[in-house]
Structure 1
Amino acid sequence: STANGNPSWYLTIPNRYYQMVGQKPPQVARADRKEFLYPITGDYFQNNPKEESSSGAGHAIYTARRFPEEWWNRRAFICEPPMHLVATPRHQNVGDTFQTTRFENNLYASADAWSAPVAAEVGPDGAVWIADWYNPICNHNPFRTHHKLGPGNAHLNDDRDRKHGRIYRVYPKGSKDDPFPGLATVEQCIRALNHPNLFWKLTAQRQLITLADRKAGPRLHEALRREELSWAVHAMVSHALQELKEERYFELRPADVAALNRGSPGGYSADDPQQHPLVRKASVLRLMNHLPADPSLGARLAKALATDPTIQRYRQLAEAFRLAILHHPEGFVRHLIENNLDPDNPSLKR
Structure 2
Amino acid sequence: MASDDGQVPLLERAEMPDTTPTIPKETAREIALLEREFVEAEVQALRASFPLLRPLYTRRNALIASKLADAEFWPRVFAFASEIEAYLLPSDEMILSECLKNFTVERISVNEAGDAGEPRDVRFTFEFDTSPERNVWFGGDGKLVKEFYWRKSIGVSEKSGRRKVWEGLVSQPVRIPWRKAEVDPTKGLLDAACNLAEAEGKAAAGKKITPEQRLDLPEYEKLVTEVAKVEAEAGLRAEREADGDDDEDEDDHEEEGPADVSFFAWFGYRGRDISAEESEEAMKADEEYWGKIARGEKVEGDEKEGEGDAAAGDEFEEDEDDDDEDGLMDAEIYPEGHELAMTLGDEVWDNALKYYVQSLQAPEFGSDIDFDMDGMEDDDYDDEEETDRPRKKVKT
Question: Normalized against structure 1, the TM-score is what?
Answer: 0.22
| Higher strand content, 1 or 2 | 1
Q: Whose RCO is larger (CA < 8 A, sep 6+)?
A: 2
